[in-house]
Amino acid sequence: MDRLRIAIQKSGRLQEGSLALLKESGLVFSNGREQLKTQVRNFPAEILFLRDDDIPQYIEDHVADVGIIGENVRLEKGKNNDLIKRLDFAKCRLSVAVPKAEEYKGINFFQGKNIATSYPNIVREFLEQNKITAGIHEISGSVEIAPGIGLADAICDIVSTGSTLLSNGLKEVEVVLQSEAVLVADPEISEAKKTVLENLLFRIEAVQSAKNNKYILLNCPNDSVEKITNVIPGMKSPTVMPLSRKGWSSLHSVVNENDFWEKIDLLKSFGAEGILVIPIEKMIL
């Protein structure tokens, strides 16, 4: 079977999450410090370690079949890559920032100004959508220094916590787009490799489902089983087993982690006791 070529960032903020996702999906491979390519030992794939910005071009040139990149990079490069799946990690935003001393009253502030960025195409589209005419200075790396040295009046760059902006005397004033890691693919991928990709997606979805859900065990009075089942119905229905304590049962279900804290008080009001919440390693829906 043809090996699926998976491109990931060789260093940077996406690498750790990409490696973790692939390994949690059951792929076994080595990833040495200076390694640029490695074969997966238990799955028909090989992994290429590339610069994030180069991955869309490698996919368009059919060198790589799929890649994990930031959505900001996908939109900036505009290459012939299909968006396959959002991966729910490396979340950030592309934002415009100005010096803290500036009085910012709205987007018209940028009319006639200069903006420094590593994302000229995205910024150009943003300005056009808002009918703003401004200069764009394309630079790579250390964008935050541009206002301080007189190169630009503002910057547009990736923001995670905002601490880098603050340390450079800047404040975030406009969010251009929200970004996260995404899986992209060559639209001309062969049928054989498409089958391998579908298998990989199945594994990734099992990992993602597990992260978003928890296995919950609790004891409750029998007359509360129906009410608790309505609160935490699980994937289809909970497992209910009688306890040696007369009139009581053990109820096992699956609950979305985001909903759990909202529902815990309700479960307790129905008499639930001994509540255990356990991580799920994989979840096949």
Quick: pLDDT tens for 69-83.
999 999 999 999 999
- Asked if the domains 4-88+181-189 and 213-279 are classified in one and the same CATH topology, the answer is no
Number of helices (H), then strands (E), belonging to the chain: the values are 8, 15
* Joined tokens for residue 136: 């764009």
- In this prediction, residue 140 carries a pLDDT of 85
Fold of the domain built from segment(s) 4-88+181-189:
D-Maltodextrin-Binding Protein; domain 2 (3.40.190)
Q: Where are the domains of the chain?
A: 4-88+181-189, 92-178, 213-279
- In this prediction, residue 1 carries a pLDDT of 58
User: What predicted TM-score, i.e. pTM, was given to this entire model?
Assistant: 0.85
The verdict on domain 92-178 having CATH code 3.10.580.10 is no
Query: For the segment 93-111, what is each residue's pLDDT rounded down to a tens digit?
Result: 999 999 999 999 999 999 9
CB atoms within 10 A of CB 71: 21
The Cα 114–Cα 97 span in angstroms is 12
The Cα 25–Cα 74 span in angstroms is 23
The Cα 173–Cα 151 span in angstroms is 19
The verdict on domain 213-279 having CATH code 3.30.460.80 is no
* Joined tokens for residue 241: 């087993």
CB 249 within 8 A of CB 242: yes
